[in-house]
Structure 1
Amino acid sequence: MGEWLIPWTERGRSGIDHDSFLWCSGKLYVMDNHRLALWCWWQHLDDEPRGWNFLHIDRHYDAFWPRRDFWLEHHNPSHRSDLSSFRQAKINLHEDKLNSTLYRWDSITTALLALDNDKIHNWWFATAGDGEKPPIPDYQVIDPWHLTAQLRRIAKPSEEDYSWIIDIDIDYFTHMDDDGSFCRVFSDQYIREIGSAISEGLTNNRFGVVTVALSPTTTESWQVAEELCWTLLESCPDLPELQAGAP
């Protein structure tokens, strides 16, 4: 059975800091705003004393605000445990301006890097190269044509490898042209193969936490984002419950 951590009452504007919903089923979390993924990872980081590997599947790197001292200054331990504190966290970057949201959709990887780098052994990124690159000297880049095979490989039972954080932004499956128009990049079969590997990794306890963000703002629309997400999660037995909770 799934749990609504933020009930889905509207298809809101999403954007940098508006959250319309957050749903979880075991170690799988689905949300509209990608920023919530950071809080979801924090709920599981201490589950693996040996540490983690991290795979970020997204059109963007999400590496805004890369300075470690920035995060050490503004982070509060309550942000990890309390979802409301996380969502409401603000910072004042300029004395003459309104407070800004601390945890944004475009800074989740740099926040994890700054605050929990000691718990992450290997960083993998499957992106379109959009946005600032993370300040990690030796991260691994995964090309689209290798992604499904890599996911199937790391989903297999293994006692030697670290558990994985798998982070997916649905906008990875789309492309935005210079004129602002969107198009789909990958076939349903490709997306289903990724979803099947995700289910296998969860079943085999290889994937310790999986986050999926619809990101309707960067995926053209709520309709497109939902269609892609439902295709990705076809193998999830609790998918009908998630769909039934949509407004």
Structure 2
Amino acid sequence: MDSEGNMGEWIVDFQGRNHSTAINLNFLWKQDNIFIMDNHRGALWCWLDCLKREKELSLFHVDRHFDALFSDKDYRHFPHDNFEDMTIVDYLACGYENDFFSVTPLFRWDNYLGLFIERYKDKITDWAFATHGKGSAPNSVRYAAYDPWEFPSAIGGLTGNWIFNLDLDYFFSRMTNGEMGRLFTDEYISGWGVALRKAIDADVIKSLTISLSPECAAGWSGSEQALQVLLTGLGIKFDLPV
């Protein structure tokens, strides 16, 4: 139990409600096989233990964006040797020098999944995506595409071994006033939590990664409110420090 009474542990201590942008990870928290973070760039690291344990896995990505940007330049710097034993500190520090004499972080919020696909596409048997069609889609694997009205029942239809990657910005969109707003009701989002909990308890979901992405989900306040609704369904307690 941490200092806030949450039955889990901080992998990356809370740094404050700062900008996440493409590269800043302001926290990473874990309870059992559930990981919560503000920036999905850390998700790939969370899957490493699962990748070592399981012979075959599938991956389900739910996000406003595909997060699958890929470049040969990034991949040339992928740390293949002993990658699956890397600490979170070393993972976040991965990068390479650019033309401006500074370091470009290797794993970013728009490319971590593209790098994962290239590295592990022979180990992942099935891919599934539910997005708003934004960002770079995968171009080297075939995937099933899901629409919002297929959830949460689609989660209950999963069989096998799954990594489930959920960005809360999937539940948000830009409104007519230009501000980010929630698209879905509490009942809908809580239903996701219930379905995810059942799939975890059935040992179908081996790893669940959840990202707040505050810049894309009505700020910290909006994303934290949506998170609490989801966690009600999941049946776990987690609060960020005041």
Same fold? TM cut 0.5: yes
Match of 2:16 in 1: 10
Q: What is the CA–CA distance in structure 2 between the aligned matches of 1:72 and 1:41, rounded to whole Å?
A: 21
Aligned equivalent of 2:61, options 56, 59, 74: 56
Contact 1:74-1:91 within 8 A present in 2 as well: no
* Structure 1 range deviating more: 77-86 or 173-182: 173-182
* Alpha-carbon contact 1:78-1:86 (below 8 Å) kept: no
Percent identity for Structure 1 against Structure 2: 29
**1:183 Cα deviation from its structure 2 partner:** 1.7
**Counterpart for residue 105 of structure 2:** 101
Following TM superposition, by how much is the alpha carbon of 1:223 offset from its aligned partner in structure 2, in angstroms? 0.3
TM-score for both structures, normalised by structure 1? 0.89
Q: Equivalences for 1:219-238 in 2 at 5 Å?
A: 219-238=217-236
Paired letter, 2:52:
D
AA matched with 1:113: I
In the other structure, the counterpart of 1:193 is 191
Deviations 1:137-184 (A, max 9, x none): 421100111121111222xxxxxx420110000000000258742121
Q: For the structure 1 residues 74 and 92, does the alpha-carbon distance in structure 2 shift closer, same or farther, using more than 3 Å as the test?
A: farther
Equivalent residue for 2:200?
Answer: 202
Q: Is the aligned partner of 1:129 residue 2:133?
A: yes
Residue pairs, 1:34-183, within 5 angstroms: 34-49=40-55, 51-67=56-72, 70-77=74-81, 79-80=83-84, 81-94=86-99, 96-154=100-158, 161-177=159-175, 180-183=178-181
Count of aligned pairs between the two proteins: 235
Instruction: Give the TM-score, by structure 2 length.
Output: 0.90
Extract unaligned runs of 5+ from structure 1: 155-160
Task: Give SS of 1:183's match.
Answer: strand
In the alignment, the residues of structure 2 paired with residue 202 and residue 72 of structure 1 have an alpha-carbon distance, to the nearest angstrom, of 35
Shift of 1:66: 4.5
Return the offset for 1:79. Answer: 4.8
What residue ranges of structure 2 are gaps of 5+ in the alignment?
1-6
Cα root mean square deviation, aligned: 1.8
* Amino acid aligned to 2:148: P
**Cα pair 1:64 1:110 within 8 Å, conserved:** yes
Which is further off, 31-40 or 85-94? Answer: 85-94
